Amino acid sequence: MTAIITGAASGIGLAAARDLLAQGWTVYGVDRSERRLAETAATFATSEFHPCLCDLQDADAIIATIAEIAEKAPKINALIASAGLARLGPLATMKVDTFDAIFGVNVRGMWLCCREAYPLLQQATAAGEIARVIILSSVSAIRPKIDSGAYAASKAAVSQLTQVMAVEWAADGILVNALAPGTVDTPMVRSATQNPETQGNWRPSGASPLGRIAQPEDVVRVMRFLLSEDAAYVTGVVIPVDGGTRAAYVPPR
């Protein structure tokens, strides 16, 4: 089994890569940080992890990177689109470059990775193998917050694209689903919460009704289900993985 994982050197993408490698998968890990990719490869210490340097804001780089992967792996069984960009700030004062960067990574970059990986996924189903796409949306797409309007809008777009892609690709036997995590203990979330200058009025959701925030492994466990034969009739859904955070509002005491 072979997978492409974007954002593979950090957070949920890193946890997904670790999990698939432990199951014997070959993983092409895409990330924009050369340093983190090198550290990740050294940590895994396996020839089944292939680091791929690529900035998802660069359309040409995405096309070239997937083409390079295709030369080595003409068919893949999974694309896990985990890379994301969060920038905070009120919409009234947000810079155009910041807005464009958020949508460039979270929406255009994600879609382009899916588009370029599509022929490789088709090859897997033609060979009688599974072909799955798992995209990282966010609970922000369901319950947005102030000062993260652009991020929430980008994730809402991700959820919509997931559903349409699932139906368009159903005839090929490719299953496309999204996960919508709540607050997860990742470097991206920690960076947002530890910088008062950029945090503004935004606050993380904090502990879920289950009494804690999520760990990346909580999200990966649901990925594991979507990659299994048990999910053979599941496509076009956006699954919240938030410990009940969005289910009902809990007012502060």
Q: Report, as residue numbers or ranges, the catalytic residues.
A: 151
For 187-206, give the DSSP string. HHHHHHHS-HHHHTT-----
Give the 3-state secondary structure of 85-153. Answer: CCCCCCCCCCCHHHHHHHHHHHHHHHHHHHHHHHHHHHHHHHCCCCCEEEEECCHHHCCCCCCCHHHHH
Residue written as token pair 């680091």: 51
Read off the amino acid at residue 178.
Answer: A
Question: 3-class DSSP state for residue 49?
Answer: strand
Torsions phi, psi for 79 (to 5 deg): -120, 120
